[in-house]
Each structure stands twice: as structure tokens, then as C-alpha cells.
A and B are shown apart, each in its own frame.
Chain A
């Protein structure tokens, strides 16, 4: 039997700003049989999405497929004309994007967009297409499959939208489907549902899948084979078992290692004799105009109390919308809390940042999730790091330059980066700069709001190691907010589980304490394990919890 996909000696080139061409994919060979799922795994910039896109015959603007063949169902996508490729896209090969929210048109109903492929290719009459779409919604276990098509994209959740994007890809009955990091932006609890749905549908229709991801555990659930990419070259290809149990290439070992963060590294927290650094009592915060009872319209955080001792770390975990970021914003004073007390370093803090003194602002820094938007794209790294030095410490000229160098050293970035702009750095580098800016203030407490969520596993693990190292050197405390349990367990002395604006449980990892509250149990059990059978054997407590 011939393979459905045959890639031979594929190279892709990209042009630089000054017009030079550089090879970004360096000779890739791959076969995929019908019904088989191959995962492309690697860090950001490794070329995994570029490689997957060539199956559509597509290279991003500024790039070109410069050599080799990409045979999909017997036809070479690399040499076809654009018109012939367009005829195959959606019917033979289909694509599920990373961010379904950005892939849907907010002004059209979901059904119209899902069946658009059948209209473009004149595959079937609209009524039949609608019936097929509803059948797909059933198969992807979407709630209210008959009615969901009439809604608009903003009326469904992120996980549902991702499954709808898959329905859009599957309606043309493709033989090959490309999933480009479809669950990266989702919560662990939602990710489980989406993965289950994908796996069931593709297995039933014997679709060949390419699954692009940087998460080895997710890939272990869904793939038959794994191809590890780095710097545009294949490092290793093998079955899931081989890669997970007998990795041969150093990079694969690094990936596996990143998945087992070093949890034993943290010593027991110092004895709590001193006064806590931060103490919060029955804090409430929310959004919207104030109501007659003095509270905002929507309360996102309700009566949360917590304590952070000097030199220890607190983790806050929960799914999207549970209020964990709102809590961080309330502590930082961005969103003034409507009720409760914040005590920092023995003194009462104003609820609004505008009223706090410069010293108080300096001692409590916040690091935002998206380094892309948290760094001013128009300024050089030097200016970004230098401003807090001048602002808080009055450093100028040589002293400031020396301190910027020291900060770059601290976060393990080459000093030559200081003249670059944020857009010229990788995601991990940007996050380090983002963090170095907080360090520049010499704070006592740093609020880290999902700072590793946008990064791939290897880079995230490196950032976590960096945070630990800096804590040892500088005696900082962190409040670490994340939906990723493994990250939190690696760094925190105490974990608070938040659900619907309230804390449901406090867990101390070093005491090997097991979660008691049903929601914590669901959250902890939803974290993917490297075991390939994990998804199939996961008990359905999750579903029961969700219904309740």
C-alpha cells in the first residue's frame, strides 16, 4: 500500500530583511499512512508549523518551498499551481489552526462558516452540508449539536470553538488533517475533552493526521509516531513508545527532562516566626459599575484570604475565568479591590496603585503573561530595563549601563541583546526581559501571572529554573499564577486552588498532601501524563463534575 503522504528532501527558504535567503527547513523525509497520526514536536522556531503547512502547499509570505516533493494522495503539492492547490485544500488536506478564536469571523454564524468549504468546492447542497455538520457536532461531543450552529463565535467557549474549527476542517471529508497546536491555548480540563473528541473522530474516519505541538504529554495521547524537529532538521523519528522510553537524541532527552521538573529542589519553607510579607484578608474585587450595596456588578474574586511568608512562594491555580488573574490585579492595585485588607511588609496598602507610595510600588512588581504586549515594541531592551533603574534608583549613564548588563547576566541573556527591540527576540528571551524589568526595581515580592503559559516546555522549564536560582540569590518571594500544575508544583511551597472566585483548597506539596475538594481532584487528574494510555483510562469523574 502506498502512503497517503510522502515527503522527500523538503527544503523551505525564508528571506531576511536585507533580501538574503536562508534555509529554514533542511531536508525533511516523512511518510504517513491512512489512519495514522504523526506528531511534529519541537520548540518554538523549530520549523514544525512550517513543515506542516507544506502539506497544504503553503509557505508563509517571505518563504518559499525551494526543493523536494510533498506528495499528498499522489499529487505533489510543491509543484502544483496555486489554483490546483486551492482545489485540494479543504477536500484532501484540511487545517485546524492554533487559535480558533482568531480563525472564526465574529460577524457570521458558526454554521455558515463550518459549511463554507462545501460551498466553495460545490461538494453538496447546503441542506445536506448542514446535516453533515450537525452529525460532526455530535461526533465531536459538542453540547446542543442541533442549535450550536446558529450561534456566533463569541457565544461559545474556547474549547468548543476549537472543536468547531475541527468540524470546519472535517466537513469536506479530507484524507489528511493538520492540527496546529489546537489545545495549547486551552485549560487542562478543557484540553482533555477536546483531545478525546479529536481522537474519536479521526480514528473512526481513518484520517491521516499531522499534529503539531510542543507538549510531549498531549502528543503521547494522540499520536502513533513522533517526529522531533529542531532548527529545521529532523532530530529523531520513532513510535511514541520509542521516543518516550528510549530517546536517543540529546534534544529529545532534554524535552523529556523538561517534562519532569525538579520538584525535590525546594527545601522546606522557613519557619514562620516572622510576620508575613503579604497578608490578604477577605479581599473582593470585580468589574462593572458599583451597585447599591457598594459592590461592582460582577464579583470575580470573593473574600479571598492568603498569606505569603518572606522567601517563600505561593501558587494560585484554577481554570480560565476562576478569578486568579483578577486577584493578582487587585493585589497589584491595577483593579482596586472593593473590600478587604492588603497588608504588605507590615503596613496597610491602598487598594489603588495610584495612591501607593513609590517605595510600595517598587517592592511589589508584577510580570504579565504576554511578553509580546508587556514590552514596548518601539523601545530597545536597554531602554526597557533602564527605565525602572532611573525611575526608582536614579541611575544614569555608566552606572545604569553596568546595571543593565548585570540584569541581562542575571537572566542569562547575552549582553549584545541590549540594542535589540522586543520583536527581534524569541518568546523565551522576551519573557526573560519581562522578568528582568521586574528585577530591576529590586522588589521583595513578584507577582507572576501565567508567565510560562505562552512558552514551550523546554523554555518554560528553563524560566522556572531561573526563577529558583534568582530566589536563592536575591531572597525574593513569588506569587505564581498558572493553570499548569506541573509548573506550580515545581516552584511553590503552598498552592491555593481557586474556583469561581473563591479559594477551595490550600495544598502544601512538600507534605505530599492529596487534593480533597472535588474540583481540585479534577484539576489534578486532568494534567496529561506521558503514559500513552492515560487519556483512554482517565475516569470520567471529570464529566460528572462538569455536569454538576
Chain B
């Protein structure tokens, strides 16, 4: 009851209504972001150092999350893994959504041949299975972080494009777009100022969803050994490395899976529960 009233007063003070679920999810996301940022400073051990005589060791003081299949400290590996998972995925999702949404709105506004060409090109890209595309690029160019980021973003551009184009086409038929057109407005103003504010909600939700897909695909690529290269590992790679511990219920395989789950679920919950501005006409 106490927390509820404090949230209530905060809402009254800021003019925004904040959902407790949103508050929890933002703290989880922030937590992982901070872990990723300060990873080298907070790892108790080096990632490659074998410190446990036993493999798949249990949780115990000094080895808070147990040890992996080579007897390395799981906590350190997880903390450094956050860097790769959060960093690569965030970079990729922003590039993918930015490119996709800008192209989508542009096609919707310009219509005609531009729309036709861009749509068909991206449809063609979309028809390549994503994992196969990733495998192909990594096999051809070799695995490095910029290559991973670019590959992941290219894979998810067509989806973001389709989604935002569909939304923008609906907005484009509204009279206010017509008013702006016959005022003589140019493309950048039309997409940034007239269309984007009206589709930003669904676009953000889409961004959250795509972030999850990218984390999973990156984990999948790492699982196949094509992601981040040893001794470093992102969370997906940690799961793969330690999959042998599954019959022993080793924390080494459970913990990174939980980490992936908490991050992806929190990002989605956060986007669904963004603070809402309270608009009370009669009160003002």
C-alpha cells in the first residue's frame, strides 16, 4: 500500500503515470547495462583462468555461480558475456530498426517506383533464411564483432521495414499529411515530424521484439561456434559450452539461460510499460 501511494504522488508530481512492472523491468535492464559497462572492473577472476579442480562445480563461496566445463569461474564469464550480448544486440537492433523504419516511412511517403524497388529488394533479402545468411557471412568474412553487428542488423532490416511501412501507409492517407504536402513540405519533415510521432509506440514495441530475436540469433550463432570467439563468450556461447552439464543440473548451463531470459523479458515488459503522460482535461 505504501509503495502504491508513493507511486501515486510521483505520478501527480511529474504528470506521468509509472507502472510498477515498468519500474521492475527498467531496473533489470539497467542492471545488465551497468554490468556490461563495468565488466572488466568487477570480474573476480580472469575469463580464461582455470581455478576449480572440478568441472561443472556447484555454487559455493568464492565461486558464486559455480564453475564451467573447464573449471573456469562462471560469474566472471557471465559478467564479461553481458558485454557481448547486450552490446552487440543493442547496436544491431538500433541499426536494423533505424534503417528499416526510415526506409519504410520513405517508401510510404514517396510511393511509386521508390516504394516498388525498395520493397522488392528487401523482400528478396527477407527470403534468405536468417541463420543461413549469418552462417554464410561469418564463414566468408570470418567472425569479428563489427561483422556480427552488421550481419545481425542486415538480417532484421526487412522486418522492421515491412512493419513501419505498413503503419506509415495508414498514416499517409490522413488529411494532415495532405495538408503538409500541399504546404510544400519535403520528405525529411514529413517522415520525422508528421509520421514518426504517430507510429512511435508500435515501432518501439517492434524494437523490443527485434532485440529479443537478435539476442536469440546471436546466442544461436555462438551456440554453433560462429559468434564471439573463445576464450570470450556471450551468453549463448556459455550455454553451448556448458550444455554437457545439463544432466548434472550444473549452474553453468542454467545461469546464462536465466540471464538471457531476464534481459529479453525485461526489455519487452519495459517497452509495454513505458511511462504514460496523464492528460486530464478537466483538472487543468
Contacts and interface: CB of A to CB of B under 8 A. Distances in A.
A17 B179 CA distance: 31
Main secondary structure of the interface of A (DSSP, over half): loop
B179 A378 contact: no
Main secondary structure of the interface of B (DSSP, over half): helix
Contacts of A391: 183-185
A17 B278 contact: yes
A368 B179 CA distance: 9
Interface stretch (A155-163, A201-209, A369-377): A369-377
Interface stretch (B43-51, B76-84, B170-178, B264-272): B170-178
Contacts of A437: 179
Interface residues of A, number: 31
Contacts, number: 68
Contact of A353 (B11, B12, B182, B198): B182
A69 B12 CA distance: 36
18 contacts: A18-B11, A18-B278, A20-B280, A20-B282, A20-B283, A334-B181, A358-B184, A361-B182, A361-B184, A366-B179, A368-B175, A373-B174, A374-B179, A378-B197, A391-B183, A392-B183, A424-B279, A441-B183
B103 to A, nearest CB: 21
Contacts of A421: 279
B281 interface: yes
A22 interface: yes
Nearest to A14: B282
Contacts of B185: 391
A374 B283 contact: no
Contacts of A420: 281
B115 interface: no
A272 to B, nearest CB: 29
A366 B184 CA distance: 13
Contacts of A57: none
Contacts of A332: 182
Interface in A461-494: none
B176 A18 contact: no
Contacts of A374: 174-176, 179
A333 interface: yes
A379 interface: yes
A361 B179 contact: no
B280 A18 contact: yes
B283 A18 contact: yes
Interface of A: 16-18, 20, 22, 332-334, 353, 356, 358, 361, 366, 368, 370, 373-379, 387-388, 391-392, 420-421, 424, 437, 441
Interface residues of B, number: 24
B206 interface: no
B114 to A, nearest CB: 15
Given A334-B181, A373-B175, 7 more contacts: A20-B283, A361-B182, A374-B179, A378-B197, A378-B198, A388-B183, A424-B281
A376 B181 CA distance: 13
B52 interface: no
B142 to A, nearest CB: 45
Contacts of B241: none
Contacts of B11: 18
Contacts of A441: 183
Contacts of A388: 183
A541 to B, nearest CB: 37
A374 B173 CA distance: 10
A376 B176 contact: yes
B197 A379 contact: yes
A376 B182 contact: no
B281 to A, nearest CB: 5
A22 B282 contact: yes
A437 B176 CA distance: 11
A421 B281 CA distance: 10
A421 B277 CA distance: 12
